[in-house]
Structure 1
């Protein structure tokens, strides 16, 4: 078991600054359970519950109260790396861990090489070692994301998008973690490394113990409707920021007027590089979304520019990426003779 832990696990540290180096049982149980719930929320939202793992409590070091939870991964790493390689996944992982996907890929490659070098029974053993390396790096990613949820302030987590959808469950678990610390007057500060570094003082516990407000079901915004259609641009706006004030204008494939913004980072990257061939009347094939409000489409967003004047730029986002960006949504297909997704004016 110890060998498996070393090859497939990573430690998540809770370092409690307590005067006499002891912790109440209730505090230990509540904080450990909060970490479990954060990890479960990440697995459900980001990896579609594909990750198979166990949390194991390791003994604290002598002379301190350093809780050590090892996350041991046995399977399901494809879900982690699939998420890492998606646009929305890359944004979340970079935002939470501070390391872009390319750095995690390098770490996986290094771990694979080191473990494969240690293998002695040929290709089958090397394959097994590569699987262990994937489990190890996946554990490191999950631990880094979990640590970020617990350690970062609420404003930063909201900026990353952690308050959306089922990710709010992770923030609820984080609030429970700090509620347990509030209830234990012996805890002066909290850190998340084995070093004597305690970045979260007791004065910050109460604010972090507040659960994010959730809208009542009837107050939630309407679902997004997603479709792939062609647009003929009649009035573009090449200023990415200014487009919020002055939308792009065009005609849909049924020659009806439509107004929209483009929320495709790759498209704007091409614009900045001047890699687009612009015509008088540009033709875009897009994956876009709107919300039906009072029977009319509002808040129109181009999520992906698929083609620009016949030149292919990217593939449509899949359902999991759309879920992460939009939350609840419905996919539709525009057919000849039927109203388009964006029929009508604002």
Structure 2
């Protein structure tokens, strides 16, 4: 930016999304084995340059990961160097910091810790700078690393929303290779999360023996309860407007145990239906009330259908031309 200043909101948001990328990477690759924190490091003497640093609160997981063939290939593809290269860089940094004066075991642990922190930082910076196609080619698919890609999108959203921001870089040198026109190119189209996508409705017919009806249509707290022909308990709601009109008119004859044949929609498996909705009451205690809804009517009411089991009606005989 002009003068190299940056709004605090942009700094906070990009730092937060960088941390989210790190956590997504470590969670996907290492599970809960590694704990890391992102810190704002103190500026060097004579400058106000703000730097972010990664500190490993527990280590060993990255080291073990990079010892595997999969880990070696992953780090080489993402950072451009084998893990051995970063181990050498970490060792040099540890020696320059004066850790050589401590015991050999402590020096080894310190070098291992610096190596893991360095690998995390370099992998994160590479991920933020590489386009999606290149990342997927080296084994970082958007399906597996969805949370990391989402954080990267938010990172560049913050950059795009910052007026007069012309370019960004990821080193202390005054080099800014990612231009403003690159912000959109480095974002990724993501499919909705699986838990956010509702599965399509399944539709079929079933005979239910009602053991606990709920004749109060306004009561949304309690569902109807019954058993199917295999004796399994089923909970459902009756949404058939014509049926409720018959109930209001006293045209439905009830028994202690009512038997109803219904056309219903549900989610889950046919043998374990959930969120059951009775769309049409076809028979009630042997009295035929209505014809089943057509495929078009079902689609208009439910949207996309996964299965419409209309052939089941043949099991109960032919329908008359007009329902009673």
Q: TM-score under structure 2 normalisation?
A: 0.54
**Alignment-derived partner of residue 178 in structure 1:** 156
**Alignment-derived partner of residue 153 in structure 1:** 131
1:213 equivalent to 2:191? Answer yes
CA distance in 2, matches of 1:162, 1:70: 23
**Alignment-derived partner of residue 84 in structure 1:** 66
1:29 equivalent to 2:8? Answer no
Deviation, 1:154, is 2.0
Output aligned runs, 1:246-257, within 5 Å.
none
CA distance in 2, matches of 1:108, 1:19: 35
CA distance in 2, matches of 1:60, 1:211: 36
Deviation, 1:116, is 6.1
CA, structure 1 residues 38+194, in 2 after alignment: closer, same or farther (shift >3 Å)?
same
Contact 1:23–1:65, Cα closer than 8 Å, also in 2: no
CA, structure 1 residues 33+141, in 2 after alignment: closer, same or farther (shift >3 Å)?
same
Contact 1:59–1:68, Cα closer than 8 Å, also in 2: yes
**Alignment-derived partner of residue 204 in structure 1:** 182
1:99 equivalent to 2:81? Answer yes
Q: More relative contact order in 1 or in 2 (CA 8 Å, sep 6+)?
A: 1
**Alignment-derived partner of residue 104 in structure 2:** 126
CA distance in 2, matches of 1:65, 1:174: 26
Deviation, 1:106, is 3.8
Partner SS, residue 39 of structure 2:
strand
Listed one character per residue, the Cα deviations across residues 185-230 of structure 1 (whole Å, up to 9, x for unaligned) are 121101001111111100111232444335757899xxxxxxxxxx
**Alignment-derived partner of residue 40 in structure 1:** 23
Unmatched runs of 5 consecutive residues or more in structure 1? 1-17, 120-124, 221-346
Deviation, 1:109, is 5.6
State how many pairs are aligned.
197
CA, structure 1 residues 90+164, in 2 after alignment: closer, same or farther (shift >3 Å)?
farther
CA, structure 1 residues 35+215, in 2 after alignment: closer, same or farther (shift >3 Å)?
closer
Output aligned runs, 1:1-346, within 5 Å.
18-59=1-42, 66-76=49-59, 78-107=60-89, 117-119=100-102, 125-213=103-191
Partner SS, residue 23 of structure 1:
coil
Please give the root-mean-square deviation of Cα atoms over the aligned residues, in Å. Answer: 2.9
Contact 2:94–2:114, Cα closer than 8 Å, also in 1: no
CA, structure 1 residues 21+42, in 2 after alignment: closer, same or farther (shift >3 Å)?
same
